[in-house]
């Protein structure tokens, strides 16, 4: 069984357990199984398409948050760095092994 099918099955089983915990009988749950399966597939598809969370480098005693466009091993991405100045933010990112492409203050 493929991993995606197994994950959808686990979500449907979890939904059934929750409904049984709420007092539903098997006869009441059965007509809702196609809906539970469809929702599980939609959830897993949305989760697969969600972007990875942005990496953040925290620095003590700083006043601003910068979003930096960087490149590491060929792939461009964006990270967040806490720093007092744009130059300091770029240096922190470079020290972490990134090639800095741009620096923008966001907070």
| Domain assignments of the chain as residue spans, ordered by start | 3-49, 55-105
**pTM score:** 0.49
Quote the tokens at residue 89: 């933010």
Neighbours of 82 (CB within 10 A): 19
Q: Where are the beta strands (DSSP E) in the chain?
A: 55-57, 64-72, 75-83, 99-105
Q: How far apart are CA 37 and CA 16, in angstroms?
A: 11
pLDDT tens for the 107 residues of the chain, in order: 578 788 889 989 988 998 999 999 999 999 999 999 888 888 888 777 766 677 788 888 888 888 888 887 767 788 889 999 999 999 999 898 888 989 988 87
Q: Across the beta sheet with 64-72, what order do the strands follow?
A: 55-57, 75-83, 64-72, 99-105
């Amino acid at each position: 069984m493929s991993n995606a099918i197994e994950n959808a099955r686990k979500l449907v089983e979890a939904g059934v357990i929750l409904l049984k915990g709420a007092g539903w009988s098997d006869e009441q749950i059965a007509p809702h199984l196609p809906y539970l399966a469809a929702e599980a597939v939609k959830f897993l598809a949305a989760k697969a398409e969600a972007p990875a969370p942005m990496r953040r480098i925290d620095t003590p005693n700083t006043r601003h948050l910068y979003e930096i466009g960087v490149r590491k091993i060929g792939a461009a991405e964006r990270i967040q760095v806490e720093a007092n100045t744009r130059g300091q933010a770029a240096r922190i990112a470079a020290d972490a092994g990134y090639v800095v492409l741009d620096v923008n203050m966001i907070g």
